[in-house]
Amino acid sequence: MKTVLVTGANGQLGQCIQKIQTQHTDIAFHFASINELDITDTKKVQEFFENQHFDYCVNCAAYTNVELAEDEEDKAFLVNAEAAKHLAEACKKHNTTLIHISTDYVFDGEKTSPYVETDATNPISVYGASKLKGETYIQEVFDAYFIIRTSWLYAEFGKNFYKTMVQKAKEKANLTITTEQTGTPTNANDLAALIVKIIQTNNTDYGIYHFSNDGEATWYDFTKEIIQNLHLAEADQPSLKPVDTYKTKAARPKNSVLDKTKVRNIIETISWQESLRNLMKNHQ
Ligand SMILES: NC(=O)C1=CN([C@@H]2O[C@H](COP(=O)(O)OP(=O)(O)OC[C@H]3O[C@@H](n4cnc5c(N)ncnc54)[C@H](OP(=O)(O)O)[C@@H]3O)[C@@H](O)[C@H]2O)C=CC1
Ligand SMILES: Cc1cn([C@H]2C[C@H](O)[C@@H](COP(=O)(O)OP(=O)(O)O[C@H]3O[C@@H](C)C(=O)[C@@H](O)[C@H]3O)O2)c(=O)[nH]c1=O
């Protein structure tokens, strides 16, 4: 029986992993929310690893508010960088493989084709910089890590762009959505499946991986597809307008499409439209 600690377990991704735990009776999960394990509490992290052996630690804990991070730099770096480093140190000491999640926002978006794992990073936001620092720390500490960079996560859980748009569309709001960024929406349930697959197959091809659904979209394209899948009557349709720029505090990469060639050695990938459709059949 493999033992797996999941930090930040009540977040969006953490809940997606919780949802599939019953399908994996060969894995003993310990789901720790921030209340049980605050990953910035170094002493608590050490105690946790001393009290029980974990074969894997899946770090779903993160500071994810891209806008607020511009004003809360210290907090973002504490959670996304310093705490990630301490987790890696605990993993190293206790022979635990770390599966850590990172982001497309480590790139500046100037590349005009999909980003591969070895491309130069150059974050343009505090959030992106804090996540990159977390990656760097982990790599400095040890080798037994999977750093999975993903993009534009959404699911039926937590707070995300998809859920905001579903709610606004149902309220018949006037939506103005940017076409300035191109990336790939990713169903967090698909990422949860990748994480479990790595664990189940005893994969030891450590390193950085890019994972997202297939294809590309602007936030406007994503919103349009969400609304189509709601199958609203003509009279209930919201107004949807593309705009060049939607004013925000944090800068976001113009292009953050990730190349999935490497990760396809582990799992198949599916188009973002298909995965969105699958989710919306069951959750609206
Ligand atoms: N969401 C997205 O679009 C994307 C996310 N990612 C990465 O994927 C990972 C999972 O993201 P997602 O599930 O969407 O994020 P969420 O914000 O939904 O979940 C993060 C969880 O971490 C918790 N948390 C925050 N600080 C701490 C702490 N100090 N100790 C323990 N837990 C803490 C949060 O608790 P609370 O809510 O109480 O603060 C929350 O439950 C993150 O690493 C994120 O950077 C990558 C690309 C896209
Ligand atoms: C709400 C809203 C946003 N936007 C724009 C703002 C922004 O450019 C874009 C995305 O909006 P959000 O701020 O919701 O998304 P954002 O927080 O930037 O999402 C990011 O989260 C972090 C955690 C990641 O790691 C990234 O991969 C990415 O998913 O859409 C509109 O154009 N219209 C709207 O009504």
Q: Is 252 in the pocket of ligand 2 (CB under 6 A)?
A: yes
Q: Are strands 182-183 and 239-243 parallel, antiparallel or unpaired?
A: unpaired
80 within some domain: yes
Q: Is residue 52 part of a domain?
A: yes
* Candidate of 70, 80, 149, 252 to mutate for ligand 2, largest count of ligand atoms within 8 Å of Cβ: 252
Q: Is residue 243 part of a domain?
A: no
Pocket test for ligand 2, best of 70, 127, 161 (most atoms within 8 A of CB): 161
Confidence band of 283 (pLDDT split at 50, 70, 90): confident
Q: Which residue's C-alpha comes closest to atom 34 of ligand 2? A: 177
Q: Assign 67 to helix, strand or coil.
A: helix
Report the share of the chain in percent with pLDDT over 70.
100
ipTM for this prediction: 0.99
Q: Which mutation among 218, 219, 243, 255 tests ligand 2's pocket best, with the greatest number of atoms within 8 A of CB?
A: 219
Among residues 140, 187, 169, which one has the least CA distance to residue 240?
A: 169
User: 143-184: per-residue pLDDT in tens?
Assistant: 999 999 999 999 999 999 999 999 999 999 999 999 999 999
The answer to whether position 23 is within a domain reads yes
Q: Is there a domain that residue 172 lies in?
A: no
180 vs 244: CA distance, rounded Å: 6
**Residue 237 in domain:** no
Into how many domains does the chain fold? 1
Assess whether the C-beta atom of 212 lies below 6 angstroms from ligand 2.
no
* Residues with a CB atom less than 6 Å from ligand 1: 7-8, 10-13, 34, 38-40, 60-64, 79, 83, 101, 103, 131, 150-153, 158
Q: Domain for residue 262, yes or no?
A: yes
pTM: 0.98
Query: Which residue out of 56, 63, 127, 220 is catalytically annotated?
Result: 127
Dihedral sign from CA coordinates of 181, 162, 200, 106: positive
Ligand 1 centroid from CA 262, angstroms:
25
Residue 241 resides in a domain: no
Length of the chain: 284
- Determine whether 154 is an active site residue: no
Q: Which atom of ligand 1 is the closest one to the Cα of 127?
A: 45
Give the tens place of pLDDT for each residue, 71-104.
999 999 999 999 999 999 999 999 999 999 999 9
* Binding site membership of 221 for ligand 2 (Cβ less than 6 Å): no
Cβ 109 vs Cβ 254: under 8 Å: yes
CB of 243 closer than 8 Å to CB of 178: yes
Q: CATH no. for residue 96?
A: 3.40.50.720
Q: In terms of residue numbers, what domain contains 77? A: 2-159+186-214+257-270
